[in-house]
Amino acid sequence: MVSRLNELDQQLCGAHGIARSGDATTLDEAITMADATTDRLAKSGHIAHDGTAAPIQEGLFAVFLQAQVEARELRANDRVGVVRSLTAVIRRMRKAESLHRLGRQACTELCDTLDFDHSLLSFLEDDGFVVEESDHGLGGPTVIPRQDCESEARCIRLRETVRADDRDVPATPGYRELLDSGEYLVAPVVAKSEVVALLHVGRRSRGRVTIGDCDVLDAFASAFSLLYERMLNFERVQHQRASIARAASRLAEEADRIATAAISLDVEHDDGGVEPATIAADSALGAALSDREREVFERLVRGASNADIADDLVVTVETVKTHVKRILRKIGAINRSEAIALYLDETKPRRPIR
């Protein structure tokens, strides 16, 4: 349909001496181009007030109008299909069991179901945008500095989908490479009235992103924001319940120990050094962590500061801070103290059931 409109438009413009800017590459562009040509023909007097063209071109113009009608019908059918796809995507994402899986599924659905070429999910941090999920796997977090991020800054400020390109709003270095395109869309993820993350999508194989793509991403980001906030609230409630249950269990064990143990005034001294903490291979906490995050976590639970961890792993303190934030988010801890409590609870010996 796009090529057909291009051909008819070229024939009409050529017959009436009207200059063209070039061929359309998408259906939306082809419809806009055809509207503009029809309007220019009307203003130039080549089309009468009753909508007819000069006799020699009347048949061609009728075919041109019919093609425009068919193009609009095709676009309407496409949008119905997109709405159905969005509905199915939202239903599937509602079944995600964690924030981590929700983010991963969002990137997959944007490409596999909604037909974008690349997608990214980035979280906002003080030192930059932390890209945690993508449709093709990053192999670890990627931090993009916040300076010179005009399109992302506009998206956060306006809280709406923004189109980045090389003309009006420049694409951001880093995102340009990850999306393999100098033109992309970025939409905000809003939770508790704040922008907490960004969704990026781009096309490579089919040309520019369109107005329709913008509408699709806008609707997807709104639904994802609601699901993200709901999952965030659910996980926080679950963590609070688990913390209360662990505290009650520790109090019960301590009361039982005091009631049954013999009182001893001897003070036992530990002549050995502190055994370094290690994350077991089957650890539930360590399951979602990368190798580098496990190394940071092992030092964190020993009480090491960010500076100590940075010196030990030969990285910057800012990198350690980013890892710590990701670790806390993944294991569901509010702060370092709760992370240590979760680790101690997981590793303490359990009493055998009698």
Q: Identify the structural domains of the chain with CATH numbers, from first to last.
A: 2-82 (no CATH), 99-232 (3.30.450.40), 278-347 (1.10.10.10)
Task: Render pLDDT for 20-42 as a digit per residue (tens, 0 to 9).
Answer: 878 887 777 787 888 888 887 77
pLDDT of the residue at 265: 44
Q: Distance (Å, rounded) from C-alpha 343 to C-alpha 234?
A: 21
Strands 128-134 and 118-125: antiparallel
**66-80, 176-190, 268-282, 306-320: range with lowest mean pLDDT:** 268-282
**51-55, 86-90, 213-217: range with lowest mean pLDDT:** 51-55
Banded pLDDT at 137 (limits 50, 70, 90)? low
pLDDT of the residue at 256: 66
Banded pLDDT at 47 (limits 50, 70, 90)? low
Say what percent of the chain tops pLDDT 70.
82
Q: Across the strands, what pairs with 184?
A: 164, 202
Instruction: Beginning with the edge strand found earlier in the chain, give each strand of the sheet holding 142-144 in spatial order.
Output: 142-144, 128-134, 118-125, 194-202, 184-191, 162-164
Task: Render pLDDT for 285-334 as a digit per residue (tens, 0 to 9).
Answer: 888 888 899 899 999 888 888 999 999 998 888 889 989 988 988 888 88
Which residue from 74, 98, 50 is spatially nearest to 238, judged by alpha carbons? 98
pTM: 0.58
